[in-house]
């Protein structure tokens, strides 16, 4: 959510009552879809994985993710069912529902345990950015409980940054003391505060930056014991050079033909 958008009144504004504007950044609907899809791909997502899209809105990401994943791979939770309906009707079409069997919960309490499954990846873009600690804590705990053993939650929160905080210390957009959901304004957290919230709710987290991050800061989190997967995801997705996860034919050939030192490096590369 572009909480500090100052677009002219004639343009759609973040939070406006249309399926694209309501979820923020209406002029960047395409770019944000691609950016969030890229985060998942660069963090290691493959079509076989099961993904939870937290606060899936009007399927900005879902319109790329649902076709990409194998059937029964996509799960979304969203309190505003009208957004999901508009996403299907105006972006994706409904034929794909039969083909890919996406599943949805229309709830505001993060009760994702009701899906009765576990997730390889969960993604929550611009959801905790609007959640005060009580609601964010509930969400982190409930999402964390559904992560697979090697599962990773990728999400964003809103730091604001010193330029925002110092320029406008009384800005209500940066409200910190409150309860529940704040929209379209943002709740600001320092990394230390957000990391503590992750810990309190059974997760370990790593912050990372993206060239396309806008005003949101990304984190990768996991349950204790899966740290290496969250660290790996955060490193691969951070300011990324593209990493091709599947070895190409020429890489496989090189691994077979290379002298022994090169061979072991190539083998390591193949194992990754
Ligand atoms: C800024 S939008 C982001 C939408 C989506 N993640 C994306 O990036 O396209 C925030 C979304 O969170 C949803 N939301 C509001 N309260 C929520 C809650 N308690 N649990 C989950 N999602 C919530 C909103 O309806 C909205 O769709």
In a domain, 17, yes or no: no
160 and 175 assigned to the same domain: yes
CB 176 within 8 A of CB 187: yes
Atom 21 of ligand 1: nearest residue by CA position: 55
Whose alpha carbon is nearest atom 17 of ligand 1?
A: 108
Kindly state whether residues 93 and 60 are assigned to the same domain: yes
3-state SS track over 138-175: HHHHHHHHCEEEEEEEEEEEECCHHHHHHHCCCCHHHC
SS3 74: strand
**Per-residue pLDDT tens listing for the chain (272 residues):** 444 344 444 566 676 789 999 998 888 999 999 999 999 999 999 999 999 999 999 999 999 999 999 999 999 999 999 999 999 999 999 999 999 999 999 999 999 999 999 999 999 999 999 999 999 999 999 999 999 999 999 999 998 755 444 445 555 445 556 889 999 888 889 899 999 999 999 999 999 988 765 678 999 999 999 999 999 999 999 975 545 456 667 767 777 776 665 556 556 655 55
- On whether both 235 and 253 belong to a single domain, the answer is no
Indicate whether 48 and 115 sit together in one domain. yes
Whether residue 257 is found in the same domain as residue 234:
no
Which domain does 259 fall in, by range?
245-272
CATH number at residue 70: 3.40.50.150
Same domain, 156 and 252: no
Residues lining ligand 1, judged by CB closer than 6 Å? 1, 23-24, 54-57, 60-61, 77-80, 83, 108, 110, 125-127, 181
In a domain, 6, yes or no: no
| Whether pTM exceeds 0.85 | no
Q: Which two tokens stand for residue 191?
A: 């990394």
Query: Are residues 142 and 76 both part of a single domain?
Result: yes
Distance between alpha carbon 221 and the CA centroid of its chain, in Å?
Answer: 11
Distance 271 CA to ligand 1 centre (A): 37
Backbone angles phi, psi at 187, to 5 degrees: -95, 130
- 87 and 177: one domain? yes
The answer to whether position 137 is within a domain reads yes
146-184 b/e (C-beta count within 10 Å ≥ 16 → b): bbbebbbbbbbbbbbeeebeeeeeebebbeeeeeeebbb
Q: Do 42 and 90 fall within a single domain?
A: yes
Q: What angle do CA 120, 121, 125 make, to 5 degrees?
A: 170
**How many A from CA of 247 to the centre of ligand 1?**
36
Going by C-alpha positions, the residue among 60, 35, 62, 3 that lies closest to residue 213 is 35
């Amino acid at each position: 959510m572009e909480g500090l958008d100052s677009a002219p009144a004639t343009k759609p504004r973040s939070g406006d009552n249309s399926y694209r504007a309501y979820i923020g950044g209406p002029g960047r609907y395409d770019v944000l879809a691609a950016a969030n899809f890229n985060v998942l791909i660069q963090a290691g997502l493959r079509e076989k994985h099961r993904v939870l899209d937290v606060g899936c809105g009007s399927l900005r990401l879902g319109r790329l993710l649902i076709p990409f994943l194998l059937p029964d791979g996509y799960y979304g939770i969203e309190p505003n069912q009208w957004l999901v309906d508009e996403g299907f009707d105006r972006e994706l079409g409904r034929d794909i529902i039969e083909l890919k069997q996406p599943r949805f919960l229309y709830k505001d309490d993060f009760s994702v345990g009701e899906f009765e499954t576990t997730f390889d990846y969960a993604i929550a873009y611009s959801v905790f950015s609007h959640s005060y600690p009580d609601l964010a804590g509930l969400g982190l705990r409930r999402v964390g409980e559904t992560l697979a053993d090697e599962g990773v939650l990728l999400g964003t929160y809103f730091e604001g940054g010193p330029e925002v905080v110092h320029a406008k210390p009384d800005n209500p957009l940066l409200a910190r003391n409150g309860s529940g959901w704040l929209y379209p304004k943002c709740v600001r957290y320092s990394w230390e505060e957000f990391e503590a919230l992750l810990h309190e709710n059974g997760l370990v987290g790593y912050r990372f930056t993206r060239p396309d991050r806008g005003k949101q800061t990304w984190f990768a989190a996991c349950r204790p014991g899966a740290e290496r997967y969250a660290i790996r995801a955060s490193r691969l997705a951070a300011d990324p050079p593209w990493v091709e996860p599947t070895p190409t034919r020429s890489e496989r050939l090189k691994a077979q033909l290379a002298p022994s030192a090169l061979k072991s490096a190539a083998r390591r590369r193949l194992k990754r």
